[in-house]
Structure 1
């Protein structure tokens, strides 16, 4: 009976260990979004600070130093992740850097999983040996090793995996050396704009639950305002990650919008609000020639001349600034456009939307429905998997979706 009880306890620890294992990579990749790598990195840190994990390195100073070095390198890379994930939109070199970093993070995760399993094995065996007789303990150990086939001692295990850890540390050092050349900044979470920011084509087959939002806003853009105002601002307001920019791209690329607004421009504003920069980017997007200077007045005169008597659509993406005077100054060249011109604004801040537009023009973007979440998850997670594999993992995927408060990536 003691042996059976011991085996039951072993299985408890085994299940506990398995509950820490990651999703299959293609499922995890489906959840990649603005802050995926940052969240993934936090999971690695949590595993590295577990008491059982740290006990594995007791009395092993050299190995402990290497572990601290690994943690330090991960922290250094993690400090610039927000900036990198924003800049990858338009910088192919940053995108490649992140893709390679993905792979190294997965390798680190695999290594830490094995170390956690070994730490758990040692803990369970120690508890068994301290609570039973030598004979019973030996038999129980034999049974347990058949469940977890890891027979090496902690020291031998560490000696075997240290070269792998050294390789990961060296790779991380390589990524760190690229931080400065790539222009990545520590703790810089602002979304960066590029002087030739382009709106990529949108594959609407990968977007779910936004058809009604799209149609409602397009109808607002195509309708004539009852007050016959020259310029109508249509803000899209919602939490970060809900898909405001993606929705705006869908609308911007819609054929009906392209026909109705032959003059169009898209500018990413971001937190670093700069009226001069925004005006320059509008001029570039509209192919209006100008002398590159920081004289806002002369730039606005150029923009005003380029928009005069034209029906235009402008998109100001990711607006944070709620200063009315600055907005009033920025929009002064827009008033020369013909009746029916529109400006789409994406923002997280309700106050920004109310400062820039009338309440009836504001579109509030809500969470997509659970069914759409499941469709989105299935599209990305199981797209290249066969039917049998899908059937086995579909239930797991549905549970994951249920536990998600919102779907953060469109």
Structure 2
């Protein structure tokens, strides 16, 4: 039977890490010999390391079957780790029971069962095997799929050829942006407000939220919103990701704004001079999508040409890290923390992707129990709802 990777394997690992951090587990582990406690410590570290990769991996499974297969394999080993912790809980309860019985009848047989050296040895081997397999999976996944790779910026057309086509400006999709009416209205109001932000001479809006929560989706909705059509924005969209490279990002913005670039594309000064000319006296709307981190000095150098823009110009930055908003000196009033979707919106998005069109009657086949499990897995993340719906479709 084909194994289908659950879209948010990180939810399973999160639960495992929590269990491994409990006093009950460590109190029992320290009673065992054979290095069980040290192997558990390694397991906890390995799971935490893998969690760092999962957000990118779970997004890429939408476009790469091999990533989906690797996630399924990872999920299986995670379930094995969960089984081990269940064994721990059972063994701990059994020993407490036997010790209680020992007070009633002091027998060598009962004492031998309580110490159970075979359990210690078996448990140590099992955890060591899981550790080895998970670490090998982590290394292979990193090497094979270049997760968390440095995507050094690109125009919307360039990014659309990559592994994450959903993170482009594109044209606004026809589908409804589920559960984000209020967010959309508030962000639109910020964009339409001509008041510049501090010393920037143009407004910088930071959309902050965890991976998969829909930052790119809401930015794209605002970018293409019909209410902005009469405001005559010159627009550009750049996916930044890990490497905030001033030259690359500036060239891509320049190419989007005037469909050309500096005569010397490797000359940062020349590119920025051309960029300043391109925005001089004009109102622009620029999206820097998925900024992981940025150095303050780099930001100051990057933004310099845009001070020549007209009043009402706006730059939207989407990021998972609130410190990015602080580094670019985005005021609290222009820092928008995107929250999880409501259960109703999450369920609506799931159904849109799980059910074929004109099959409303199929919705009756989805029981309340399934609905609860889906919502629990999605945890208010639209990417999770979309991915799970797509897999089940």
TM-score range, shorter chain: 0.5 to 0.7
Distance 1:125 1:168, change over 3 A: same
SS of structure 1 residue aligned to 2:315: strand
Q: Does 1:112 align with 2:84?
A: yes
Structure 2 partner of 1:22: none
Structure 2 partner of 1:299: 271
Residue-pair matches, total: 345
Distance 1:226 1:279, change over 3 A: closer
Q: Hey, what's the Cα distance between the residues in 1 that align with 2:299 and 2:120?
A: 62
Q: Hey, what's the Cα distance between the residues in 1 that align with 2:68 and 2:273?
A: 40
Structure 1 partner of 2:368: 391
1:236-274: per-residue Cα shift (whole Å, max 9, x none)? 355656654442133224455578667432234567544
CA-CA distance at 1:378 after TM superposition: 4.4
Q: Contact 1:232 / 1:341 at 8 angstroms: preserved in 2?
A: yes
Q: Hey, what's the Cα distance between the residues in 2 that align with 1:181 and 1:109?
A: 24
Structure 2 partner of 1:333: 305
Structure 2 unaligned regions, length at least 5: 111-115, 161-166, 356-361, 384-393
CA-CA distance at 1:275 after TM superposition: 2.5
1:316-375: per-residue Cα shift (whole Å, max 9, x none)? 24486584x754542343355566543223462597498457x87x2543646xxx5332
Q: Hey, what's the Cα distance between the residues in 1 that align with 2:348 and 2:89?
A: 32
Q: Hey, what's the Cα distance between the residues in 2 that align with 1:263 and 1:392?
A: 49
Structure 1 partner of 2:251: 280
CA-CA distance at 1:315 after TM superposition: 0.9
Q: Hey, what's the Cα distance between the residues in 2 that align with 1:79 and 1:160?
A: 22
Q: Hey, what's the Cα distance between the residues in 1 that align with 2:349 and 2:29?
A: 33
CA-CA distance at 1:211 after TM superposition: 0.9
Larger RCO: 1 or 2 (CA < 8 Å, sep 6+)? 1
Structure 2 partner of 1:176: 139
2:14 to 36, 39, 46: 39
Q: Contact 2:207 / 2:215 at 8 angstroms: preserved in 1?
A: yes
Structure 1 unaligned regions, length at least 5: 1-25, 139-152
Structure 1 partner of 2:390: none
Q: Contact 2:207 / 2:336 at 8 angstroms: preserved in 1?
A: yes
Q: Contact 1:304 / 1:336 at 8 angstroms: preserved in 2?
A: yes
Q: Does 1:212 align with 2:182?
A: yes
Structure 2 partner of 1:236: 206
Q: Hey, what's the Cα distance between the residues in 1 that align with 2:153 and 2:6?
A: 27
Q: What are the equivalent positions in structure 2 for 1:62-73 lying under 5 Å apart?
A: 64=35, 72=42
Q: Contact 1:76 / 1:176 at 8 angstroms: preserved in 2?
A: no
Q: Hey, what's the Cα distance between the residues in 1 that align with 2:104 and 2:234?
A: 81
Q: Hey, what's the Cα distance between the residues in 2 that align with 1:328 and 1:374?
A: 41
Structure 2 partner of 1:50: 26
Computing the radius of gyration over CA atoms, which structure comes out larger, 1 or 2?
A: 1
Q: Hey, what's the Cα distance between the residues in 1 that align with 2:26 and 2:246?
A: 49
Q: TM-score when scaled to structure 2?
A: 0.60
RMSD over aligned Cα, in angstroms?
A: 5.5
Distance 1:251 1:336, change over 3 A: same
Distance 1:37 1:276, change over 3 A: farther
CA-CA distance at 1:214 after TM superposition: 0.5
Q: Hey, what's the Cα distance between the residues in 2 that align with 1:203 and 1:322?
A: 34
Q: Hey, what's the Cα distance between the residues in 2 that align with 1:409 and 1:355?
A: 29
CA-CA distance at 1:100 after TM superposition: 4.0
Q: TM-score when scaled to structure 1?
A: 0.58
Distance 1:212 1:194, change over 3 A: same
Distance 1:96 1:210, change over 3 A: same
SS of structure 1 residue aligned to 2:260: coil
Structure 2 partner of 1:343: 315
SS of structure 2 residue aligned to 1:316: strand
